[in-house]
């Protein structure tokens, strides 16, 4: 009798497997994590308070860890100004001539930067970083021609990052930019350039 009961229980347990076949448990795909994205590409614009001009910039970088990264940034900032010069013409009876001259300055900075982030919540982070590089300064003076020069530059920046999705985020921050004095010869006396700006941008992680 016991053998008969054991056989009945065994048949009852394995009959559903015969009827519908064995279906293994389905494994779910792992959720996308920050570590899935090694590279990022982004860009934005900063309003520079002293020069009262926009600094447009773009960058590409690599995530060293979940919190730290390095990136290469390039940008452009232009400024147009007008100044007045006075000079004498004539030898026997010199005449003082006053003339307004237009000047056009284009600055193209290229920097290698390091950035570190601290999480403030599930989607919000605070970042801090700095970079070193060089800037090409092109100066064009009306009636006098143009010249360009590469000079050393440095910058520091901080702000907030908001993660819309793991692959897409926006940032809001401030930066300090310093450029060494360019050397355009003895006749051109240009001081070093420094400015503070605030800006926004978007970034794609891939």
Model pLDDT for residues 93-129, shown as the tens digit of each residue: 788 888 788 889 999 999 999 999 999 999 999 999 9
Least confident window among 38-42, 81-85, 105-109, 162-166 = 81-85
The 10 Å CB-count burial string (b at 16+, else e) for 124-145 is: ebebebbbebebebebebeeee
pLDDT > 90 fraction of the chain, expressed in percent and rounded: 59
DSSP 9: H
Backbone dihedral angles phi then psi of residue 183, each to the nearest 5 degrees: -105, 100
Summarize the confidence of residues 71-78 as an average pLDDT.
97
pTM of the entire structure? Answer: 0.75
Q: What is the pLDDT of residues 23-67, one digit of tens each?
A: 455 544 444 445 578 999 999 999 999 999 999 999 999 999 999
Architecture category of domain 42-80+96-205 in CATH: Beta Barrel (2.40)
- Which two tokens mark 200? 């926004």
CB 190 within 8 A of CB 154: no
- Alpha helices in 21-134, H assignment, sequence order: none
């Amino acid at each position: 009798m016991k053998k008969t009961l054991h056989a009945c229980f065994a048949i009852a347990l394995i009959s559903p497997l015969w009827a519908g076949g064995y279906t293994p448990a389905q494994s779910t795909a792992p959720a996308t994590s920050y570590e899935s994205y090694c590279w990022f590409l982004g860009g934005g614009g900063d309003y520079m308070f002293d020069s009262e001009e926009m600094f447009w910039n773009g960058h590409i970088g690599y995530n060293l860890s979940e919190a730290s990264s390095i990136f290469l940034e390039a940008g452009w900032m232009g400024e147009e100004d007008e100044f007045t010069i006075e000079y004498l013409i004539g030898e026997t009876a010199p005449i003082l001539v006053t003339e307004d001259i237009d000047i056009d300055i284009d600055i193209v900075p290229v920097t290698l930067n390091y950035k570190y982030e601290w999480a403030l919540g599930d989607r919000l982070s605070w970042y801090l970083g700095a970079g070193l590089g060089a800037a090409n300064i092109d100066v064009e003076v009306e009636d006098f021609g143009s010249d360009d020069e590469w000079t050393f530059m440095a910058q520091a920046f901080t702000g907030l990052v908001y993660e819309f999705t793991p692959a897409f985020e926006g940032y809001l921050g401030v930066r300090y930019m310093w450029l060494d004095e360019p050397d355009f010869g003895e006749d051109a006396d240009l001081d070093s350039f420094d400015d503070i700006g605030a800006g926004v941008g978007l970034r794609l992680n891939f």
